[in-house]
Amino acid sequence: MQLTKLLVQHPSIVGTIGERDMAYQIYEILQQFPYFKEHPHDLKLLPTRQDEHERYNVLALVKGANPMNNETVILMGHMDTVGVEDYGKWKRYAFFPDELVDLWKKSRIPASVRADIASGNWLGGRGIVDMKSGVASHLAILRYFSDHRDELDGNLLLAITCDEENNSRGILSALADIDQFAREENLQFIAAINSDYTAPRYDDDPHRYVYLGTVGKLLPAFFVVGKETHVGQAFEGFDPNLLVSELTSRLDYNTDLCDEMFGEVTLPPVSLKQTDLKPHYDVQTPRTAFVYYNVFVHSWSPQDVLQRLKETATTAFEVAISKFQTRYRCYCELSGHPYQPIEVEPRVYTYDEFYQRCREQFGTEFEQKMLQFSMNVLNEENLDLRNYSRRLVEELWEWGGDSEPAIILFYASSYIPRVVLSEADHRDNRLIEAVNQGVNEIQPNCEQPIQVRKFFPYISDMSFVAISDDEKDMQAFEKNMPAWGMKQQMDMEAIRKLDVPVINIGPYGKGAHKQWERVEITYSMEIVPNLTVSVIRHLFRS
């Protein structure tokens, strides 16, 4: 509890100087452990690579009493938080949990928040559940085992990283440092335990959750080309917004695109951006449009998602054409104009398909010019990863496109890999058994039922310590992400090299990323650290 409050009181909003200072704060806390006073070389403050901000990760190794046992469990978490704009007039209290709760008690707040606070078992503040109480739990565990090494049958490596809330640069940079640590100290990683937040899955959900593995996330995007025209001759063109609207109507909240595995179902796709690309107002219809969607996956690979969405886009295209032609026919009947069918072909390409068409047509000149263009666009500082990818698709269309409507499907942002734990795999099963034993051991001390589920349902750094897609599946992603290797760089080999089964045992709370962010004290401060310790003990004994 003391560590949680201390960490919350030091703002570490992602992308700010506080994120750097938070790393120093955690490093200084660890420096006070007697173990690290005796073994300072086992504590490291490491700068992130290829980062526009000055940020750091913290690694701390505690070795067990048996020097012959190199088995190691990684305790992982992130130090950054989202911002506090949603707190409004209470922003200055967002980092002071006790003061914030006192203020809430005196204010008009939602009934559900009031009920929690009145129980005396909840504490509020930015980052208190996502995920500083989880980091505090890991720090407390590391402190205990550093003082009781005779009870530690293996080793523990603490990895607290930055930038989880934005681009995961922290964990992606830490992969190389973890690998170096492992080589220097001859560590054999057998499991990773994340301590990110858990939350109710539905209203009045009585359960507390432990997760084996994690959901994956993709951001498929569609560059939609229409046919521009003056609004006075509307049917001489083809509005790309009509196509986009048909796409969204078939993708948004469509449960046919929920991915089910082990009886657990992802949320359906939802749009995160939808716009035409006209830079200013005039009376010409748009030529192009752009839309992208969040897609969660449990079992589907990037190639699976491409195939499903290409089929959906083709259907949407066909329906848009039919609607366009039907309405043109109706207009002709109303106006008395002669009706002549307007032919539009439903053309849908993946980025790789269209790139190869251009490559075959224009050869090495095309490849060189595209590479040069992609490097030049890197200099546009205000261009985020999504729009950088779009700009490259626009350039691709300028090379190989024509004046007729089409859709190019591509990935516009990073892939957050899914991680699947299987009883058929020896290492996975060892961790699964340790979790089940730990839950059975701790459950009598927990008022609420603890349920073990297969997939952590939120985006987290868990996705970057293992990967369940094979190389062929990943190539489908890389070839269809325009920014890959340029603005987007991810060392897939480093992930495959670490390849450690990962679980999440985290604090329980509500309102993460919102004004009413709060953590349940008893479960988060007592059950979570003790459950984590139990799992660690069972792992090393198995």
Q: For the chain, first and last CA: distance in Å?
A: 31
Q: Would the pLDDT of 341 be above 90?
A: no
- Domain holding 80, by residue range, is 2-86+126-215+416-465+500-541
d(CA 346, CA 352): 18
Query: pLDDT tens across 53-81, in order?
Result: 999 999 999 999 998 899 999 999 999 99
Assigned domain for 394 exists: yes
d(CA 172, CA 427): 23
Q: Are residues 380 and 240 in the same domain?
A: yes
Q: Would the pLDDT of 381 be above 80?
A: no
CA 273 vs. chain centroid, Å, equals 17
d(CA 336, CA 513): 57
Assigned domain for 41 exists: yes
d(CA 517, CA 505): 19
Q: Are residues 138 and 273 in the same domain?
A: no
Of 373, 393, 411, the position where a domain reaches its end is: 411
Q: What is the pLDDT of residue 127?
A: 97
* HSE (side-chain half, CA atoms, 13 Å) at 401: 23
For residue 137, which of 307, 1, 331 has the smallest C-alpha distance?
Answer: 1
Assigned domain for 118 exists: no
Assigned domain for 105 exists: no
Positive or negative torsion for Cα 422, 426, 428, 429: positive
Query: pLDDT tens across 232-268, in order?
Result: 999 999 999 999 999 999 999 999 999 999 999 999 9
Of 411, 428, 454, the position where a domain reaches its end is: 411
Assigned domain for 107 exists: no
Helix 385-400 and helix 351-377: axis angle, to 10°? 120
CATH number at residue 52: 3.40.630.10
The string of DSSP codes covering 475-538 is: HHHHHT-TTBTTTB---HHHHHHH---EEEE--BEE-TTSTT-EEEHHIIIIIHHHHHHHHHHH
Query: What total of structural domains would you count in the chain?
Result: 2
Which pTM does this prediction carry?
0.93
Q: What is the pLDDT of residue 51?
A: 86
Q: What is the pLDDT of residue 489?
A: 82
- What 3-state class would DSSP assign to 220? strand
Q: What angle do CA 113, 523, 267 make, to 5 degrees?
A: 70
Strand 518-520: give its sheet, edge to edge: 122-124, 518-520, 509-510
* HSE (side-chain half, CA atoms, 13 Å) at 117: 23
Q: Are residues 144 and 60 in the same domain?
A: yes
Q: Are residues 358 and 438 in the same domain?
A: no
Amino acid (1-letter code) at residue 524: S
Whole-number mean pLDDT of the chain?
Answer: 96
Q: Are residues 177 and 233 in the same domain?
A: no
Rg over alpha carbons for the chain, rounded to the nearest Å, is: 26
Average pLDDT score over residue span 116-126: 96
- What 3-state class would DSSP assign to 265? strand
Q: Are residues 365 and 321 in the same domain?
A: yes
Average pLDDT score over residue span 125-130: 97
Q: Are residues 399 and 439 in the same domain?
A: no
Average pLDDT score over residue span 338-360: 95
- What 3-state class would DSSP assign to 377? helix
Q: Are residues 9 and 151 in the same domain?
A: yes
φ and ψ at residue 423, rounded to 5 degrees = -65, -20
Assigned domain for 121 exists: no
CATH number at residue 255: 3.30.70.360
Q: How confident is the model at residue 507 (pLDDT cuts 50, 70, 90)?
A: very high
Structure tokens at 63: 């070795």
* HSE (side-chain half, CA atoms, 13 Å) at 471: 3
Q: Are residues 452 and 353 in the same domain?
A: no
- What 3-state class would DSSP assign to 389? helix
The string of DSSP codes covering 404-447 is: S-EEEEEE-S--B--B---TTSHHHHHHHHHHHHHHHHHGGG-S
What whole-number percentage of the chain has pLDDT above 70?
100
Q: Are residues 244 and 376 in the same domain?
A: yes
Residue partners of 376: CB distance under 8 A and separation at least 6: none
Q: Are residues 53 and 11 in the same domain?
A: yes
Assigned domain for 102 exists: no
Assigned domain for 474 exists: no
Q: Would the pLDDT of 521 be above 90?
A: yes
Q: Are residues 35 and 144 in the same domain?
A: yes
